[in-house]
Structure 1
Amino acid sequence: MRLTDDFREETTTDDSGGATRRTILQGVTVAAALGVSGSWVRVVSASANGDGGPWAGWETLPDAIHYPDPRVRAIAYGILAPNVQNLQPWLMHLIGDDSLLVFADLSRRLPVSDPPDRQLTVSFGTFTELMCAGASVDGYRLDVKPFPDGAAPMAFDARPVVAIRFVKDATVRREPLVDHILARSTNRLPFDPATKISAEQIEKLRSEAVRPGLVRGTADPDLVRRIRDVARKAYLLEMGNAGVRRELMNMTRIGKTELNSYRWGPALLGPAVEAAITDGSMSRASLDDVTSSQYQAGIQNYLRAIDTGQAYVWVATADNERVSMFEAGREWARLHLSVTSLGLKLQPHSQALHDYPEIAALKSQLHSLLGISAPGRVQMLGRLGAAAVAPHSPREAVALRLLA
C-alpha cells in the first residue's frame, strides 16, 4: 500500500474560444462532491479531469508544442510544487499578454488543522518558486507581488494571493534547480540508516537558498533524537484527534477509481488496496476506526518512517506574517530541489507545526528545541536522508486550474 496534464488552449476570443473557457470553468466548479455519512465523509460523485491520467503533468513537462503560452508553461512547472496534503489550491487567471493573478481555491482549505491557512500560504510560495524556475527556461524573470490587494488577517478570502508579471530579460539564465523538478517527490518511506548526512551537505543546502538565514538543519544525534521524539508524538496526537484525522480522511483517495476522478489529495494505492476495496474490508469508516487493523497498520508504517530520521532541515522566519509564510514556501521549494540534486530525499513533518489548540504544547517544544523564539516561527520541518524512489503525487490538468 502506498500513500501517495493536459492543456486545452485558451487563446482565442471567438465563439469556440468562449466554449473552451466555459469548459475550464466547469472543470473547476465540479470539484469533488462530498456527502456526509455519520461522522465521516465518503465520496459520492466524481467528474472527469481531462485526458492523460493523474500523472500526465509529470510525464509531459516541459512540452513547448502543447504549452505555447510561456505563462502556461511556467504554470505547468508550478503545479508540480510540494503543497499541503496535495490540495493543489491554486487557481490562475491570465491577464493580457504578460500577467496573471493567482487565487486560493477556498473549497480546499483545512479549517480544522490549519484554520489560519498558514500551510496553504506556504503552498502558494512553493508554487510561485517553481513557476519562477520554469519561466527561466524561456528567458523570463517574474515580478512577483504577494497579496497585491492586502492579506486576509485570519484566513484566505476572494482576494488574489499573488500577482505575477512576466518580463523577457536577456540577462536571465536557466535556473539550475529546474532540472530536478521532475525527480522531486515527497518520500514517506523508511530512510537508509547507513547513509549519514554531513554538516557540509546541510551547509550546501543552505547555500542554495535565496535567503540562507531562513534555512537551517542538523545531523547532531542528540538534537535529531529530540526532534524525532516530538515528530512522533505530534503524529500520534494528530491521528488521535478525531477532527483532524477525519479532515485528512475526507480528502484521501482510496484506490485507483477515486484517484482517476479526483487528482488532488493524498492517495492510497496498490494491489492490496484494490483487493481490500473489492472485498469490502477497506473504507473510510474502517480507516477512521482506531481499533481496526488497517488503522493500526497505517500508524505503524508511518512511525517506522519517522524512526529512521537521522537529520532534519527546517525553514524559520522572523515573524508569522502572511508574506513571511509565502516566502518560507519559496525557500522550501528550493530546499527540496536542492535535496533532490544531492541524491537525497525529504519528507515534511508538519504535524507539530499545525495551528489547532491541542498541538500547541508540542509546537512550543519544537520551537524551543530549534532555538526559535516569538515572534519567530518555524514554517516547515522535514526529515532528510536516503531512500528508494517514491511515487509522485497526482496532479490535476493545468486547464482545470485556469479561470476565464
Structure 2
Amino acid sequence: MSAGVPDSAIAAWSPDDNIDNTSDPRVRALSWAILAPNPHNRQPWLIELQGEHDVVVRIDSQRLLIHTDPFSRQILIGTGAMLGLMDIAAKQFGFNTETIWFEEGRFDRNSIDSKPVARVRFTRSNEKPNNDLFSYITRRRTVRSNYDINSPPSKILESALLSLDTNTINNRIIVKQPHIHLFDSVKRIAKEAWKIELTTPETYLENAQLLRVGSMEIAKHRDGISITSPLLVAFERFGLFDRDRFPPLESNIIKTQLKAFNETIDATPSFFVMTSFDNTRITQLMAGKTYVRAHLMATKYGFVMHPISQALQEFPEMSQLYSDIKQILISETFSSESTVQMLCRIGKPANGQAFPKPSPRRGLEAYYV
C-alpha cells in the first residue's frame, strides 16, 4: 500500500487535458468548477445539463455532513464556491452566466432536499475575457501545514480581499498587531473547538470514516480527506487504526492530533474572517462564491489559506464556542441573524514545508444525473 496521492486521483486538476476545447462550453466550465474547495472534500454536487444553455445544480443527499454540519451551511458554502468557479471559467471561455436561485423553492433553515439550488444559464458574451483569477484555479491549494509567523498578508492582498465586501458579506484580516487580544482569542477558540470536534464521538467518527488512507483508498474514492503519512498507512495496514471505533480520550491518536493542530494554530500569522448580515441559504451560497475568489486572490499574491471551521459548526457540543466566536467577530451593527461564515488561517508556508498536491476529485462524469 503506497502512501502517496496517485495521479489518477488528481487527473481532474488538468481540465484542459480532459475536455476538448470545442466541446459544450458548460462542460468546459464545469470541468474547472469541480475544483472548488468544499467541506471535507465531499464534492456534494449533482449536475444536470438541460437544453442547450442551462446547468441545474442540486445537492447530493448522500454526501452531507450530518454531525459536523447538521444544517448543511458548510455544504451550501462549498456549492457556492463551485458555482463561483463556474462563473469565472464561463467568462474565460466567452460566456456570461445568469443564475436563478431555488426556482422550485428554498430549503428550510435546518435541512436540504432534492430541489434545485441553482439554474445557471450560459449566453454568448461579446466581451474579451479579462479575469486573471482563472489562471489560479489549478494552483489553489488548502495548505494545512505551519506558516511563517512573520508573513501576514501584504497590504495589496488585504485591500483586494476587502474589495470583495458586499451589502451582506464583510471580510477582514486579523493580525497579532494591533489586535493582540482578538488574535489570541481566535487562537484559543480554534484550539478548543478542534478538541471538542475530536473528542465528540459522533463528529470524530464522521471525520474518521471520510479518511482515505493510502494510495489505493485515495484512488478508489477520490474524495474525503487523503492520508499519506507512512506511519498512519502502516497503522492502517496492521489494524492499529480502527476508523469505526471512538478511541479513548487519553489515547495517542487523540493526543497526537491535538498537539499537531495546536502547533499549526500557533504557526499562524493572521486569520481571514468572513461574516454575513444574515444567514439565508442564498447568503451561504454567496459566501462560497466570495470565499473562492478570496482564496484565488491569495494564491495570486503568493499566499495560502486553510479553513478552520470547527468553532462555526452547529452541533450541540459546540454551542458555547459558536456563541463565543460570533460575539468577538461580528460587529454590533450587524443583526441577530449575523453569522461567521468562514474562519481561515492565511499566510505563507514556513521554510521547508512542502507544497501539497491538490485534493482528489471524482471526475466530471461522477456528478451528472
TM-score normalised to structure 2 length: 0.90
CA contact under 8 A between 2:81 and 2:288: conserved in structure 1? Answer: yes
Cα deviation, residue 212, structure 1: 9.1
| 1:118–1:103 Cα change, 3 Å | same
2:255 maps to 1:314: no
Structure 1 partner of 2:148: 192
Which has the larger displacement, 111-120 or 287-296? 287-296
Alignment of 1:311-390 (within 5 A): 311-372=270-331, 373=334, 374-387=336-349, 388=353, 389-390=355-356
Q: Is the 8 A contact 1:249 1:288 kept in 2?
A: no
In the aligned structure 2, how far is the partner of 1:196 from the partner of 1:216?
A: 13
Q: Which residue of 2 aligns with 1:158?
A: 114
CA distance in 2, matches of 1:295, 1:74: 41
- Structure 1 residue runs without a partner (length 5+): 5-50
1:137 to 92, 102, 125: 92
Residues of 1 paired with 2:202 and 2:245: CA distance?
16
Aligned partner letter, 2:315 = Y
Distance in 2 of aligned mates of 1:98 and 1:249 = 40
Q: Which residue of 2 aligns with 1:392?
A: 358
Residue of structure 1 equivalent to 2:208: 249
Equivalent-residue separation in structure 1 for 2:16 and 2:251 (angstroms): 41
Alpha-carbon separation, structure 2, partners of 1:164 and 1:182 = 22
* AA partner of residue 135 (structure 1): A
Asked whether the 8 Å contact 2:205–2:246 carries over to 1, the reply is no
Contact 2:275/2:338 (8 A) holds in 1: yes
Residue identity matched to 2:47: M
Identity of aligned residues (%): 27
**Distance in 2 of aligned mates of 1:357 and 1:271:** 35
Amino acid at match of 2:172: R
Which residue does 1:111 correspond to in 2?
A: 66
1:180 aligned residue (130, 136, 147): 136
Report the equivalent of 2:42: 87
SS at match of 1:80: coil
Report if aligned partners of 1:91, 1:104 keep a CA contact under 8 Å in 2. Answer: yes
SS in 2 for 1:284: coil
Asked if the contact 1:112/1:356 (under 8 Å) is kept, the reply is yes
Shift of 1:62: 6.2
Say which is worse superposed, 235-244 or 279-288, in terms of deviation.
Answer: 279-288
Amino acid at match of 1:214: N
Q: How many residues align?
A: 357
- Residues 246 and 288 of structure 1 are in contact (CA less than 8 Å); yes or no, is this contact kept in structure 2? no
Look up the equivalent residue of 1:125 and give its one-letter code.
G
Alpha-carbon deviation of 1:188? Answer: 0.6
Structure 1: how far apart are the matches of 2:24 and 2:159? 37
Give the drift of 1:245.
Answer: 1.0
Residues 195-234 of structure 1: matches in 2 within 5 Å?
195-208=151-164, 214-219=170-175, 220-234=179-193
The one-letter amino acid of 2:86's match is M
**Distance in 2 between residues matched to 1:359 and 1:57, nearest whole Å:** 35
Gaps of 5+ in 2: none
CA RMSD of aligned residues (A): 2.4
Residue identity opposite 2:14 in structure 1: E
State the secondary structure of the residue aligned to 1:55: helix
Q: Distance in 2 between matches of 1:79 and 1:363?
A: 30
Whether the aligned pair in 2 keeps the contact of 1:211 and 1:331 (CA below 8 Å) is no
